[in-house]
Structure 1
Amino acid sequence: MATFSNASSKYKDIISKSRLLHSGSPSIYQLKPKKETFGTLTKLTVGERHVNKINKTILLVGETGTGKSTLINALVNHTMGVKWEDEVWFQIVEDEKRSQTESQTSDVIVYQVFDFKDKILPYSLTIIDTPGFGDTRGVELDLLVPQKLLVWFQSADGVHEVNAVGLVMKASINRVSDRLLYIFDSVMSLFGNNIEENIVALITHSNGTYPKNVLQALEVAKIKCARNEKNQPVYFLFDNCQHKERTEEEEFGLEHAWRVTDRGIKQFRTFMEKTGPQKLNRTVEVLKEREQLTSCIQNLVERIKRIEEKQKAINHNEEVLKKYEEEMKKNKNFTVEVDEVYKAKKPIKGGMWGLGFYDGAVTCTVCEENCHYPECTKAWSPRDCDVMKGGRCTSCTRKCRASDHVKEKWIYVTKTRKVKKTEAEMKQKYEENLAESGEKSSLLENLKKEINKLEADKTRFLEEAYQHVVNLNQIALKVHSGSTSVQLDFLIEKMKAKGDRVKVHMLEKMKKLQEEGNKGAVQSVWDKLKAAGKVVKGWM
């Protein structure tokens, strides 16, 4: 049970439900929030919710070590009305013994602060804390953040609007690093165009002076965010030492630090009151569209690979048929060894992991294609997969029903084998493939028709993928992050081979805008993923 010796009596009820971490000036208490989990989701709540109370929702994103956890505690204390003279400090974020290069937050957590029994707050506060990007445990963890946020946005118990997206940065930076650029790009790619006016810089470890270097760094990096009347990025300043012991030597400086943070939070609060919340239905649309785009491109890569394998096999078989043409005419049972392209099932690593994630592949049993692989972790069944829309798949060739799909720990792969066939057997095969033409042709003519059909399929697949990119460009603040950088390269290469100059120009324009905005940040992270062996095979 906590004691009240150094705390204002107005917090006695709160303190009685908290754990004393440190006695002194200030006395530090760990709040004991109510913990709820919804699959992979974690929500921590303190106080009692009033349905009619105004709520402010903040999404915090930043590099590991920028002080997000301390900032969350400061926001909570301000909402609770804690003053310097109260000599008390509350923590809602649990301390974890980890290095400064390893994130203190390992999952997306939502903190909610409502009214207390003896204290009515000016508004309730919801803070979405994302894992620190780019820590030492590997950049592949960063790729899960958008998926976890999408789960929150879609959940009935989750978050459906945001007042501000806070990009947490240290006051000491004078350039936006590749890692920070990657963070910002990842966040912006989550949202539609309507979120830009809600994105602000939350500058930590500040002494309260004008952050000239930080603002210049944001300008150079061309970070899209809200702007003030001077056309500067909107920013708010915070210090990170409210919890430090107030010794005689440090009390003056710590009081100044308190005032810096108090002023920053008040200004931030005013900004949120003037700027309306953004509904997240558009964000869900962007995230699902991006997931469908990624799956479409991956599926496209596999289909084109299969087409090219078939073309290679047909060219080889054509040479074989020409070589043994006379023998096959004389003897109907004469067999030749030809190449046959087929599909096989290949086991993959998968299964349940974390809190409710199920890693596997959604495949179509009709088209025999991989519709969502890799990064298919949220859905437990095909009908819940992001590639499904209106009960049908957006990825496979025939756009089959969800019920024609399975989610398992295997994928389809294309292979080629040697088989012996007679001319009649080969002719039957290709006539079946070209049955819709209604024409009877020689075997060599059928081979040429099959080549033409495959080329037409390749063109159709490319057009479908291109349209996905165009649609995403129309609804997203940023059209792409790490993975779509590679997708654009792939599309540009194939459109150049096709000779479509207009689409090549459009795709190259999108790529140029990305490169100008990100200064190589996305590619830097993507290179790390490639080095770690995490990049999808077939894209490289």
Structure 2
Amino acid sequence: MDSLEPELHIFDEIIRLSTKIEDGTPTRYHLNQNAVDQSEPYRTMTYGERDTSKTHKTIMMVGETGTGKTKLINAMVNYMLGVKRENNVWFEITDDQSNRKQAFGQTTSITVYGFYLQESPIHLTIIDTPGYGDMNARNEKEIAMCLLKLSKFHDWIHKVDAVCLVVKATQNRISDRHIYIFDAVQSLFGKDIVENIVLLVTFSHGAYPKNILTAIEEATFQCAVNNENEPVFFLFDNCQGETFHEEYQMIREQSWNVSFRGMTGFLKFLDSIKPKPLQMTQHVLQQREQLDKTISEIKSHIQKIKDSENFEVEVTYKEKVAIDRSKASMAMCCTVCEENCHYPGCWWVSNLSWCSVMKNYHCTACTNKCHYSQHVKEEKIYVTKKKMMTNKDLQKSNVKIVDSVSKKLEELRELKTQKMKLVIDAFHCVRTLEMIALNTDSLITLQHIDFLIDELKEIQEPEKTERLENIKRRAGKEKYKVLKYMKMYYQ
């Protein structure tokens, strides 16, 4: 009997309930989950039955596409199962990512893996977010919205023990793309969670990850730090689940050792850190959603105002013209009512109060029965005319505004009032995020700053304008350089 067979027997039942993926060293199996819920924009997949009396840890995995999150999740599962290198087996809880995209489309954002092995001392929930950086800002927004729904409507995910930023050890420089990704990740959370954010460094051969730590520092990424004030990190190799030929077993052993040490250290960290509730993170996500919605509404109102300001109406107005001398030589006209009170048939008199249409010094003919002093006797009369006029023409003219025009102007004033309120609401969203968000100068916020500054200036809010100008100055030129990159590639 092979000396490895007794060790392998402990996995007989797990293997029996799994699906073989590939023979080899190691032989790969897919763990058949006992529950898969695809009814939400996120999905949940569980293995085993959760025991509420056991210690439970919830971790979230975030990072750039291609950093190896999927393999890392499987490495965690094998560690929890107690798999050793000499067992020559490898279990996977994740599915094929290409199938996942085909089945759920681009809108799939989050998968929640519940790993509840009865033999394990702890139960683990892994919130797996899709990779960042797929040249589509909509994906990042969907991740945020799915996380918000997940934290609000699943009472068993109301706190998180660790947020794991997965990064590659081979990354040796920081680009605008990486800064954007790091910024987007930080923009998900409240500032109370910073000490629970750690780095999981993949594709590592066990060496000190100087390059990636330098990149993290350059990107001003906020996370937990150790006694040397450097980011807390754990190293993992990503190839222990791959099939190795006999001559490469030394590399396989090294891979296992690196990941085993990393997982041991990471679980010790989970034991030492206090989990954080997601209320503040919920608030951050709600404020970001509200800011985007409010900015969109402001822009919609601006367009409506432009359309309303450009309206054209048929206006009825009075204009004085010369009398037809064949009909009369004089006319008594009211300048207030713009009416011809005595025409034709009016004769010259030295005192207008003597005119036959006057009684007790007031006109008996005009609509308002005006005083005789409001009248004139001359060789002109009022004629009713019609013409099309724009709003701007009306504002420049002395034409009396009729009811239909008055209604349009009232609607315009109401739109401007609503827009003003929305601008103030957007400002308060930014101020709230400045107080509670981990990433106070998020690119998500900065993309709206210039627009809001202009709108605040228009409604004459100098103090609020200055507050946003301070945020802009604090962000600095480098972030605006990344913002330009983001608008170019991720809109």
Q: Over residues 266-319 of structure 1, what are the superposed CA-to-partner deviations in whole Å (9 max), with x where a residue is unaligned?
A: 111111111111111222222112211221222122223333444455xx88xx
Structure 1 pair 96/7, CA: closer, same or farther in 2 (3 Å)?
A: farther
8 A Cα contact 2:42 2:111, kept in partner: yes
Q: CA deviation at 1:63?
A: 1.2
Distance 2:222 2:478 in 1: 9
Gap runs ≥5 in structure 1: 342-417, 434-446, 531-540
Q: Determine helix, strand or coil for the equivalent of 2:247.
A: coil
Is residue 2:26 matched to residue 1:31? no
Paired residues of 2:315 and 2:386 also in contact (CA < 8 A): no
Separation of aligned partners in 2, 1:505 and 1:17: 64
Task: Report if aligned partners of 2:319, 2:383 keep a CA contact under 8 Å in 1.
Answer: no
2:445 aligned residue (456, 465, 484): 484
CA contact (8 A) 2:318 2:383 kept: no
Which residue is equivalent to 1:281? 279
Q: Quote the offset at 1:25 in angstroms.
A: 2.4
Give the 3 Å change call, closer, same or farther, for CA 522–106 of structure 1 in structure 2. farther
SS at match of 2:51: coil
In structure 1, the residue matched to 2:220 is: 222
Mark the CA change 1:513 to 1:289 in structure 2 (over 3 Å): closer, same or farther.
same
Q: Mark the CA change 1:188 to 1:326 in structure 2 (over 3 Å): closer, same or farther.
A: farther
Counterpart Cα distance in 1 of 2:41 and 2:95: 19
Match of 2:375 in 1: none
What residue identity is the alignment partner of 1:466? F
2:419 counterpart of 1:471: no
* Equivalent residue, structure 2, for 1:82: 83
Percent identity of the aligned residues? Answer: 36
Distance 1:126 1:104 in 2: 24
Structure 2 match to 1:151? 149
The within-5 A match list for 1:374-413 is none
The correspondence for 1:115, drawn from 114, 117, 140, is: 117
Instruction: State the Cα distance separating 1:340 from its structure 2 match.
Output: 7.0
Residue 427 of structure 2 aligns to which amino acid in structure 1? Y
2:389 corresponds in structure 1 to: 338
Query: Structure 2 vs 1, CA of residues 198 and 272 (structure 1 numbering), >3 Å: closer, same or farther?
Result: same
Query: CA, structure 1 residues 121+515, in 2 after alignment: closer, same or farther (shift >3 Å)?
Result: farther
The answer to whether the 8 A contact 2:187-2:442 is kept is: yes
Check the 8 A contact 1:171/1:214 in 2, yes or no: yes
Within 5 A, what are the aligned runs for 1:199-238? 199-238=197-236
Q: Structure 2: which amino acid aligns with 1:89?
A: W
For residue 176 of structure 1, give the secondary structure of its aligned residue in structure 2: coil
* The 10-residue stretch of structure 1 (495-504 or 56-65) with the greater mean CA deviation from structure 2: 495-504
Secondary structure of the structure 1 residue equivalent to 2:188: coil
Partners in 2 of 1:18 and 1:110 — Cα distance?
20
| More divergent stretch after superposition (126-135 vs 240-249) | 240-249
How far, CA to CA, are the matches of 1:32 and 1:261 in structure 2? 24
- Distance in 2 of aligned mates of 1:105 and 1:273: 34
Alpha-carbon distance in 2 for matches of 1:513, 1:58:
32
TM-score by length of 1: 0.70
Q: Provide the C-alpha distance between the structure 1 equivalents of 2:121 and 2:486, rounded to a whole number of angstroms.
A: 42
2:107–2:139 contact (8 Å) kept in structure 1: no
Give the 3-state SS of the residue equivalent to 1:334 in structure 2. Answer: strand
| Cα shift at 1:335 | 2.4
Query: Aligned to 1:470, what secondary structure does the other structure show?
Result: helix
What's the CA shift string for 1:237-264, capped at 9, x where partnerless? Answer: 1000111234332111211111111111
C-alpha spacing 1:454/1:75, structure 2 compared with 1 (3 Å):
closer
Q: Structure 2: which 5+ runs fail to align?
A: 100-104, 322-336, 339-380
Cα distance change, pair 431–261 in 1 and its aligned pair in 2 (3 A): same
Once residues 250 and 44 of structure 2 are traced to their aligned partners in structure 1, the CA distance between those partners, rounded to angstroms, is 37
Residue pairs, 1:14-413, within 5 angstroms: 14-34=14-34, 35-96=36-97, 107-116=109-118, 120-135=119-134, 138-156=136-154, 159-311=157-309, 313=311, 326=320, 329=338, 334-339=385-390
State the secondary structure of the residue aligned to 2:20. strand
Q: What is the distance in 1 between the residues matched to 2:212 and 2:107? A: 25
Could you tell me which residue of structure 2 aligns to residue 428 of structure 1? 403
The 2-side partners of 1:158 and 1:300 are apart by 37
- Partner residue of 1:350? none
* CA shift digits 1:153-179 (9 cap, x unpaired): 122366211111111111011223323
* Counterpart Cα distance in 2 of 1:476 and 1:171: 28
Shift in Å, 1:130: 0.9
Contact 2:17 2:32 in 1 (8 A): yes
Q: Measure how far apart 1:14 and its partner are.
A: 0.8
Please identify, of 63-72 and 470-479, the stretch whose mean Cα deviation from structure 2 is larger. 470-479
- In structure 1, the residue matched to 2:360 is none
SS at match of 2:402: helix
* Contact 2:320 2:383 (C-alpha < 8 Å) held by counterparts: no
2:301–2:415 Cα contact (<8 Å) kept: no
Are 1:46 and 1:112, in contact at CA under 8 Å, matched by a contact in 2?
yes
Could you tell which deviates more after superposition, 300-309 or 214-223? 300-309
Equivalent position amino acid for 1:59 in 2: M
The answer to whether the 8 A contact 2:237-2:258 is kept is yes
Q: In structure 2, what residue type is equivalent to 1:427?
A: V
2:324 alignment partner in structure 1: none
Name the structure 1 match of 2:486.
525
Which residue of structure 2 aligns with residue 370 of structure 1? Answer: none
Answer yes or no: is the 8 Å Cα contact 2:194–2:222 preserved in 1: yes
Normalised TM-score (structure 2): 0.76
Name the residue aligned to 2:10.
10
Distance 1:471 1:78, change over 3 A: same
Give deviations 1:376-409, integer Å, cap 9, x for gaps. Answer: xxxxxxxxxxxxxxxxxxxxxxxxxxxxxxxxxx
Q: Distance in 2 between matches of 1:233 and 1:81?
A: 28
Q: 3-state SS of the aligned residue for 2:200? A: strand
Q: Within 1, Cα distance between the matches of 2:320 and 2:57?
A: 82
CA distance in 1, matches of 2:267, 2:480: 32
The two structures, once aligned, show a CA RMSD in angstroms of 3.4
Change (3 A) 1:250 1:454: closer
Are 2:468 and 1:507 aligned? yes
Task: Note the C-alpha offset of 1:462.
Answer: 2.8
1:242 aligned counterpart, secondary structure: coil
